[in-house]
Amino acid sequence: MTKITAAITAIHGYVPDGVLTNQDLEKMVETNDEWITTRTGIKERRIASPEQALSDFGKEIVDGICEKRGIDPAEIDMVICGTITADYRFPAAANVICDKAGCVNAWGFDLSAACSGFIYALDIGRVYVENGTHKKVLVIGADVMSSIINYKDRATCIIFGDGGGGVLLEANEEGLGVQDSILKSDGSGREYLLQRLGGSAQPITKENAESPEQYVFQEGKTVFKHAVSNMAGISVEIMEKNGLTADDIDWLVPHQANRRIIDATSSRMGIDNDKVMINIDKYGNTTAGTIPLLLWEWEDKLKKGDNLILASFGGGFTWGSIWLKWAY
């Protein structure tokens, strides 16, 4: 019997129109373009309008994928949305997206893994395709980070932006699509990157409603150290596990948190810069959105059979890598 793999058959991305440049940030906090550019590689990021929620990004993504693939949203069986900025604490953004986009026959859920949200979601979605129970699984990674960022905190507001993308997974009989994955987490890292207030540990009350702890907190240096060692480590691990050399890899698709973390990862893997997808300069860190945004922007350069390594590290801590063969 032919082995069924789960392959990406369509991709679409979305970023809002609003642009926040380093020069804009210079007027908001004590920072400067030179510091942001050399320390992170970011020049500008996109910001949602006040009317836009995560589900509006999701609807754009579903619409774009259905148009490209020439299918009706009613044909989608399942929607998994990697995000930490859903419209509501509940119901899930996936449910709202399905309603807005007309995925009337799909069930779905959100997956909270911060910057690894897309990679985790992709690995779950592929199982449903591989086991044959679901024919069309839509995996989204997107975040409206501006909804949880403190624009008075220069340690975080210079980094994050809004946007995301999604992919359609379908069965493949040529051995293309997801080949292998390694996913990890370590909850003891939570204190270095988290949104402290608003959950069941510390709900928002009258007393703390004005506290900056309702926004994202990051101890950058500690997260940076873990990100470099774990994102590079897991990318090398998936290569070694599958006997892949740097020459076998056509593209590294790394989470866009900091240009220096991306460079450290590609250098540990021995991969040349021209095989590394990078758009952090335009969009900053869109959390679960970075990897599908890269795939969307590079879609025209990808060839059937190309070997891609997707790699992420983020809040949780969560991290992981996926090896996939491009299918079209």
The single residue among 4, 148, 155, 183 that binds ligand UT7, judged by CB under 6 A, is 155
Q: What is the DSSP letter of 160?
A: B
Provide the CB-side half-sphere exposure for 40 (13 A, CA).
30
The single residue among 35, 109, 151, 328 that binds ligand UT7, judged by CB under 6 A, is 35
Distances (CA, A) of 151 to 21, 160, 217, 236: 13, 10, 12, 36
- Cα separation, 117 vs 125, in Å, equals 12
Stretch that binds ligand UT7, among 51-59, 118-126, 152-160, 200-208 (CB under 6 A): 152-160
Q: Does 310 bind ligand UT7 (CB under 6 A)?
A: no
- Which sequence positions are flagged as catalytic? 115, 255, 285
Name the residue with tokens 């948190």.
Answer: 257
Q: Which two tokens stand for residue 235?
A: 């990318």
Surface-to-core class of residue 148, CB atoms within 10 Å of its CB (0-12 exposed, 13-18 middle, 19+ buried): middle
The 8 Å CB, 24+ separation contacts for 25-32 are 25/154, 25/157, 25/158, 28/151, 28/152, 28/157, 29/151, 29/152, 29/153, 29/154, 29/157, 29/158, 30/154, 31/154, 31/158
Q: Does 154 bind ligand UT7 (CB under 6 A)?
A: yes
CB of 239 or CB of 288, closer to ligand UT7: 288
Q: Does 196 bind ligand UT7 (CB under 6 A)?
A: no
Tell me how far the alpha carbon of residue 158 is from its chain's centroid.
Answer: 18
Q: What is the DSSP letter of 4?
A: P
Q: Does 117 bind ligand UT7 (CB under 6 A)?
A: no
Q: Does 115 bind ligand UT7 (CB under 6 A)?
A: yes
Q: Does 158 bind ligand UT7 (CB under 6 A)?
A: yes
Q: Does 31 bind ligand UT7 (CB under 6 A)?
A: yes
Q: How far is the CB of 91 from ligand UT7 (least distance, A)?
A: 26
Tell me which residues in 122-151 interact with ligand UT7 (CB under 6 A): none
Q: How far is the CB of 261 from ligand UT7 (least distance, A)?
A: 6
The single residue among 66, 96, 261, 264 that binds ligand UT7, judged by CB under 6 A, is 261
Q: How far is the CB of 227 from ligand UT7 (least distance, A)?
A: 4
Stated as kind and residue range, the H or E segment containing 128 is helix 117-130
Provide the 10 A C-beta neighbour count for residue 82: 34
Q: Does 223 bind ligand UT7 (CB under 6 A)?
A: yes
Give the count of residues interacting with ligand UT7 (CB under 6 A).
21
The single residue among 227, 238, 253, 327 that binds ligand UT7, judged by CB under 6 A, is 227
Tell me which residues in 274-303 interact with ligand UT7 (CB under 6 A): 285
Q: Does 309 bind ligand UT7 (CB under 6 A)?
A: no
Binding mask 238-257 for ligand UT7 (x = CB under 6 A): -------------------x
- Cα separation, 258 vs 281, in Å, equals 10
Stretch that binds ligand UT7, among 66-74, 172-180, 292-300, 309-317 (CB under 6 A): 309-317
Q: What is the DSSP letter of 216?
A: E
Are residues 170 and 138 in contact, defined by beta-carbon separation less than 8 angstroms?
A: no
CB of 235 or CB of 285, closer to ligand UT7: 285
Which spans of this chain sit near ligand UT7 (rule: CB under 6 A)?
Answer: 31, 35, 39-40, 115, 154-155, 158-159, 220-221, 223-224, 227, 257-258, 261, 285, 313-315
